[in-house]
Chains A and B, each alone.
Chain A
Amino acid sequence: MKQLISRILLLAIIATLPVKAAHAQRPAAPETLIRNATVLTITHGTLQNTDVLLRNGKIAAVGKNLNASANARVIDGTGKYVMPGIIDCHSHSMLDTINEGTLAVTSMVRTQDVINPTDVDLYRELAGGVTTLNLLHGSANPIGGLNTVVKIKYGRPASEFLFPGAMPGIKFALGENVKQSSRPNQPGVTRRYPNTRMGVEEVIRDAFIRARDYKRTWDEYREASKKDKNLIPPRRDLQLEPLVEILEGKRYVHAHCYVVSEILMLINLADEFGFKIKTFQHALEGYKVAKEIAAHGAGASIFADSWGYKIEAYDAIPYNAAIMTRAGVVVSMNSDSDERARRLNIEAAKAMHWGDLTEEQALKLITLNPAIQLGIQERVGSIDVGKDADVAIWNGHPFSVYSRVDTTFVDGEVFFDRETELARRPELAKERATLEQAEPNRPRVGGPSPQSPRRRPSKHEDEPQMTQIENRDF
């Protein structure tokens, strides 16, 4: 009994202290019952005065007058909204570096190698009801690096962030960012190819021709080595292996693009090699070719109403989401920004204002649709029994600018709780005061001249100050 009590106590501590995580064996998430809330299920409408039960990291039940076990945490949801965790299909949060811009084809680099689980942006995103991110390589190269889909388990080691079973993906990029990344950034450095949209197409085609040859070489070797044991195997090429996976339909392509010509170019190129583009990222002119995008089976992940911030963004219209949705394209709203990621709910809401999407259609833009685009729709994206308990409790409708998140759960565990956060601030202030006073190794007066702590550059990849995203470390 004593053991049970201490266990419950431990669970309670873990539940209320999401940031100070215990590293060792983690007990299963505690049971949580949210009572009498308005539940935005996404797949079967809005349910009034409804309970949601989270158990063993899953949504265990949705309905009226649910029962929970005695040790469950019960939250009164009266007047509150329960929504699936928001999924951001285009993020660069928690990446120590975004671009490997030295080459035009960098399919060998993996964002998973450089994730930083302590990035404070993650906590801010949790506070905006976001639970899943698609971490993409930058847009410096026609073929960029491999993506990583993560659940925001802030405070945990990097390995625990990885979304189990998410489809592997890769970043492609077309247009201005790629062209301009080819400008030499250091004197004496040769200009990188390509420098035009034509060149971008050629680079991608060339890469897939090489990938096709690579696959053939290996197939032939495997066949021949059955007879001849003395054959030297072909070289394993980490650049071409992911491209072979694309050709085999085992890896999703997320292609950064803006204008019609390049969108159609990529569709044609993909058809030529027999693979599919999973999402067109940004696709600000997507509304002009919505039918073609839908026919290819691709999705689009866009901004709500960002416009004119560079030459290829001049034809953007805020009706983009609505037009593409009506044409049958799976559309999502992404952030591409640590800042915008905190308010994706408002970005989705704009699609009701511009283009009259229904509330459910607009909600899907940041929940089920990005889940589909990442191949995780069986796990997340709606409030359905059996799905992962990645949900947020809002104190009002998430489409109101006055609403905010009270609590965010990932796999049934609390990773953000507003009350807890506010409650611990005095304690943190005290800790700061103590640490500043007991400053070890404090330099003497007359030491080196002061400099303010280095600020990290913002990671708004597609805003004007970032048009030159060369080989730069963030």
Chain B
Amino acid sequence: MPKIRSRLIVASALLFVFAGVSSAQHSATDTYAITNARIVTVSGPIIDRGTVVIRNGLIAAAGANVTAPSDARVIDGTGLTVYPGLIDSYTNLALPEAAPSPSPGGGGGGGFFFAQQQQRPAAGPNSTQPAGLQPEVMVEDVIRPGGNEIEASRNVGITTALTLPRSGIWMGQSALINLFGETPQQMIVRSPLAMHVGFTPLRTGGYPGSLLGVFSTLRQMMLDAQRYRDSLAIYEREPRGTRRPETDRSLAALIPVIEGRMPVVMLANSEREIARALDLGAEFKLKLIIAGGREADRVAERLAKQNVPVLLSLNLPKRTTAALAEADPEPLRVLRERVEAQQTAGKLAKAGVRFAFESGSNISDLMANVRTTIENGLQAADAVRAFTIWPAQILGVQDQLGSIEAGKIANLTVTRGDLFDRTTRVTHVFIDGRPVDIKPERAPDSQTKEQQ
């Protein structure tokens, strides 16, 4: 009888794994073992042939001499490679209304067209600030599980993502989520993770209606937050006889920011946008992170010196026009930009700037673009790091994610072939220790998709 039962379990495990059934029926004690696999631990040397044991949502053990526990559902990993689950360090996944993917070509401070396309920023009740200027807004409140985009991300091996709608100036506070779970609560790994800032003016007709005003508004609100904090301190010291400061949730949300306790992610792509963000960060001693970073290599020295990491977009700029004879020639600068964007990652690595990849919400081109950056000077091992341990470190979750080590969250991406090879297939994805339904084949490169 026990024998039959264990056979049943194995059979059902196989069903789960290979037929890709994913339901809510897993118990927390599910145990898996991937045996005979190549293990790219990231934190240590690559294990050519070893076993990864997953128990209770965590990595229980990984190594050449590890054996599968008797109660484990065993996956024969012969010919497979196990990677830490990939982290997409800036997305708008799991949100009620998918924002349009940002135009990769847009630089500078203009972007009127882009701004028009943006969704309305979320607005909180009883805020002292208009929508778009509410740092107290938390993405945690609007996350919802499921959706095609999440599935597409998992299909290429992404298990974890930072998420936030890209709208407004103070865009609010992001969350780091695992891309699997029946409820938002199950998905969230950490919230709030960071404060986010964009430099696109409000389009409501109100102030600030230009890039000029955006900077002044950010400055004024951070000054106000300083005063709010100081006023509260004085009031708490001596409530009797001190006039009570008016409560202000917007300013309260900025206190951890101005005290350098909460990182601030600023969207900046061109050299001058990044330089401006660095200036503002230095002015208020912020714990700054740059997102986008297309020309970050040009400011590499400053980034390294100020120890500011970059969430580098892999949504590489592409030509938006077919080259027709009657079209105006593109400026040389634009032609150069497209070539140079492919070299940014490699240059950042060489300059010692900390960076992590983000998809720029362009999943269909993601792996092709990683290959492009590798062809343009990035070490393949660094490309793996930029998807795993580097984002974990930059986002402050290096104890939970980013490598295959005992005790970390069991987010794993299993492939047949090297992660970034053209012919590689993602075979299994584990999130929080559970196998997740994936399409057997990785989404092919962009060209075919674009034809549709």
Of A442, A451, A454, A473, chain B has the most CB atoms within 10 Å of the CB of A473
User: With A and B bound together, what is the CA distance between A215 and B234 in angstroms?
Assistant: 23
User: What A residues does B216 contact at CB under 8 A?
Assistant: 100, 106, 108-110, 113, 238
Does residue B207 face the partner (Cβ distance < 8 Å to A)?
Answer: yes
Q: Cβ of A102 and Cβ of B332 under 8 Å apart?
A: no
Interface with A: B92-100, B159-167, B186-194, B236-244, which one? B236-244
| Nearest B-chain residue to A429, judged by Cβ | B332
User: With A and B bound together, what is the CA distance between A115 and B211 in angstroms?
Assistant: 11
User: What A residues does B213 contact at CB under 8 A?
Assistant: 100, 102, 106, 108-109
User: With A and B bound together, what is the CA distance between A118 and B107 in angstroms?
Assistant: 12
- Docked complex: B261-293 residues within 8 A CB-CB of A: 271-272, 275-276
Q: Cβ of A137 and Cβ of B212 under 8 Å apart?
A: yes
Which of B110, B205, B223 meets A185, CB within 8 Å?
A: B205
User: With A and B bound together, what is the CA distance between A237 and B110 in angstroms?
Assistant: 27
Q: Cβ of B338 and Cβ of A441 under 8 Å apart?
A: yes
Of A440, A441, A456, chain B has the most CB atoms within 10 Å of the CB of A441
Does residue B208 face the partner (Cβ distance < 8 Å to A)?
Answer: yes
Which of A145, A232, A237, A428 meets B212, CB within 8 Å?
A: A145
Interface with B: A327-335, A409-417, A430-438, which one? A430-438
- Docked complex: A213-235 residues within 8 A CB-CB of B: 230-233, 235
Of B271, B322, B329, B334, chain A has the most CB atoms within 10 Å of the CB of B322
Does residue B330 face the partner (Cβ distance < 8 Å to A)?
Answer: yes
Q: Cβ of B212 and Cβ of A106 under 8 Å apart?
A: yes
Does residue A267 face the partner (Cβ distance < 8 Å to B)?
Answer: no
User: What A residues does B421 contact at CB under 8 A?
Assistant: none
Q: Cβ of B338 and Cβ of A440 under 8 Å apart?
A: yes
Q: Cβ of A232 and Cβ of B230 under 8 Å apart?
A: yes
| Nearest A-chain residue to B332, judged by Cβ | A432
User: With A and B bound together, what is the CA distance between A281 and B308 in angstroms?
Assistant: 42
Does residue A3 face the partner (Cβ distance < 8 Å to B)?
Answer: no
User: With A and B bound together, what is the CA distance between A238 and B223 in angstroms?
Assistant: 9
User: What A residues does B339 contact at CB under 8 A?
Assistant: 435, 438, 440
A444 and B207 contact, Cβ closer than 8 Å, known pairs A435-B335, A451-B320? no
User: What A residues does B108 contact at CB under 8 A?
Assistant: 96, 116
Which of B212, B219, B227, B332 meets A114, CB within 8 Å?
A: B212
Q: In the complex, how many angstroms separate the beta carbon of A419 from the nearest chain B beta carbon?
A: 20
Does residue B447 face the partner (Cβ distance < 8 Å to A)?
Answer: yes
Q: In the complex, how many angstroms separate the beta carbon of B237 from the nearest chain A beta carbon?
A: 7
User: With A and B bound together, what is the CA distance between A97 and B335 in angstroms?
Assistant: 24
Q: Cβ of A232 and Cβ of B215 under 8 Å apart?
A: no
- Docked complex: A388-432 residues within 8 A CB-CB of B: 428, 431-432
Q: Mark A91-105, 1 if CB is under 8 A from B, else 0.
A: 000001101111100
Does residue B26 face the partner (Cβ distance < 8 Å to A)?
Answer: no
Does residue B210 face the partner (Cβ distance < 8 Å to A)?
Answer: yes
User: What B residues does A454 contact at CB under 8 A?
Assistant: 113
Does residue A69 face the partner (Cβ distance < 8 Å to B)?
Answer: no
User: What B residues does A158 contact at CB under 8 A?
Assistant: 272, 275
Q: Cβ of B320 and Cβ of A113 under 8 Å apart?
A: no
Does residue A439 face the partner (Cβ distance < 8 Å to B)?
Answer: yes
Q: Cβ of A186 and Cβ of B327 under 8 Å apart?
A: no
User: What A residues does B328 contact at CB under 8 A?
Assistant: 452-453
Q: Cβ of A235 and Cβ of B210 under 8 Å apart?
A: no
User: With A and B bound together, what is the CA distance between A445 and B450 in angstroms?
Assistant: 11
Which of B201, B205, B322, B327 meets A473, CB within 8 Å?
A: B201
Does residue B29 face the partner (Cβ distance < 8 Å to A)?
Answer: no
| Nearest A-chain residue to B226, judged by Cβ | A236
A97 and B211 contact, Cβ closer than 8 Å, known pairs A23-B301, A232-B230, A452-B327? yes
User: With A and B bound together, what is the CA distance between A438 and B372 in angstroms?
Assistant: 14
| Nearest A-chain residue to B224, judged by Cβ | A235
A473 and B215 contact, Cβ closer than 8 Å, known pairs A99-B210, A101-B210, A157-B275? no
Q: Cβ of A440 and Cβ of B342 under 8 Å apart?
A: yes
User: With A and B bound together, what is the CA distance between A188 and B234 in angstroms?
Assistant: 43
A109 and B215 contact, Cβ closer than 8 Å, known pairs A116-B108, A447-B450? yes
A-B contact count (CB 8 A): 185
User: With A and B bound together, what is the CA distance between A157 and B299 in angstroms?
Assistant: 9
| Nearest B-chain residue to A432, judged by Cβ | B332
Does residue A195 face the partner (Cβ distance < 8 Å to B)?
Answer: no
User: With A and B bound together, what is the CA distance between A110 and B276 in angstroms?
Assistant: 12
Does residue B126 face the partner (Cβ distance < 8 Å to A)?
Answer: no
Does residue B323 face the partner (Cβ distance < 8 Å to A)?
Answer: yes
Q: Cβ of A114 and Cβ of B211 under 8 Å apart?
A: yes
User: With A and B bound together, what is the CA distance between A451 and B319 in angstroms?
Assistant: 11
User: What B residues does A456 contact at CB under 8 A?
Assistant: 110
User: What A residues does B352 contact at CB under 8 A?
Assistant: none
Q: In the complex, how many angstroms separate the beta carbon of A248 from the nearest chain B beta carbon?
A: 20
Of A102, A444, A446, chain B has the most CB atoms within 10 Å of the CB of A102
Q: Cβ of B227 and Cβ of A235 under 8 Å apart?
A: yes
Q: Cβ of A450 and Cβ of B210 under 8 Å apart?
A: no
Which of A108, A439, A443, A471 meets B205, CB within 8 Å?
A: A471
User: What B residues does A108 contact at CB under 8 A?
Assistant: 213, 216, 219-220
User: With A and B bound together, what is the CA distance between A102 and B205 in angstroms?
Assistant: 7
User: With A and B bound together, what is the CA distance between A101 and B317 in angstroms?
Assistant: 32
Does residue B324 face the partner (Cβ distance < 8 Å to A)?
Answer: yes
Q: Cβ of A113 and Cβ of B211 under 8 Å apart?
A: yes
Q: Mark B411-452, 1 if CB is under 8 A from A, else 0.
A: 000000000000000000000000000000000000100110
Does residue A79 face the partner (Cβ distance < 8 Å to B)?
Answer: no
Q: Cβ of B227 and Cβ of A113 under 8 Å apart?
A: no
Does residue A57 face the partner (Cβ distance < 8 Å to B)?
Answer: no
Which of A230, A431, A451 meets B238, CB within 8 Å?
A: A230
Does residue B7 face the partner (Cβ distance < 8 Å to A)?
Answer: no
A446 and B451 contact, Cβ closer than 8 Å, known pairs A114-B109, A185-B205? yes
User: What B residues does A232 contact at CB under 8 A?
Assistant: 227, 230-231, 234-235, 242-243, 245
Q: In the complex, how many angstroms separate the beta carbon of A6 from the nearest chain B beta carbon?
A: 22
Q: Cβ of A435 and Cβ of B332 under 8 Å apart?
A: yes
User: What A residues does B231 contact at CB under 8 A?
Assistant: 232-233
Does residue B321 face the partner (Cβ distance < 8 Å to A)?
Answer: yes
User: With A and B bound together, what is the CA distance between A471 and B115 in angstroms?
Assistant: 14
Q: Cβ of A96 and Cβ of B331 under 8 Å apart?
A: no
User: What A residues does B245 contact at CB under 8 A?
Assistant: 232
User: What B residues does A114 contact at CB under 8 A?
Assistant: 109, 211-212, 215, 276
Q: Mark B244-263, 1 if CB is under 8 A from A, else 0.
A: 01000000000000000000
Does residue B79 face the partner (Cβ distance < 8 Å to A)?
Answer: no
| Nearest A-chain residue to B244, judged by Cβ | A232
Q: Cβ of B336 and Cβ of A435 under 8 Å apart?
A: yes
User: What A residues does B224 contact at CB under 8 A?
Assistant: 235
User: With A and B bound together, what is the CA distance between A96 and B113 in angstroms?
Assistant: 15
User: What B residues does A24 contact at CB under 8 A?
Assistant: 301
| Nearest B-chain residue to A116, judged by Cβ | B272
User: What A residues does B212 contact at CB under 8 A?
Assistant: 97, 99-100, 106, 109-111, 113-114, 137, 145
Does residue A189 face the partner (Cβ distance < 8 Å to B)?
Answer: yes
Does residue A448 face the partner (Cβ distance < 8 Å to B)?
Answer: yes
Q: Cβ of B110 and Cβ of A474 under 8 Å apart?
A: yes
Q: Cβ of A441 and Cβ of B210 under 8 Å apart?
A: no
Q: In the complex, how many angstroms separate the beta carbon of B350 from the nearest chain A beta carbon?
A: 15
Does residue A308 face the partner (Cβ distance < 8 Å to B)?
Answer: no
Q: Which 6 A/B pairs are nearest by Cβ-Cβ distance?
A: A96-B109, A441-B318, A189-B205, A109-B212, A102-B209, A113-B215
23 A–B contacts, CB within 8 A, in A order: A23-B301, A97-B212, A109-B216, A113-B215, A114-B276, A118-B271, A137-B212, A158-B272, A186-B205, A188-B205, A189-B204, A235-B224, A236-B227, A431-B332, A439-B319, A440-B338, A443-B450, A447-B450, A448-B322, A450-B323, A450-B327, A452-B328, A453-B328
Q: A: which residues have CB within 8 A of B?
A: 23-24, 96-97, 99-103, 106, 108-111, 113-118, 137, 145, 157-159, 184-186, 188-189, 230-233, 235-238, 428, 431-432, 435-436, 438-454, 456, 471-474
Given contacts A232-B242, A435-B339, 13 further A-B contacts (CB under 8 A): A100-B209, A102-B205, A106-B207, A109-B216, A113-B215, A114-B212, A158-B275, A189-B205, A232-B234, A233-B230, A435-B336, A436-B323, A450-B327
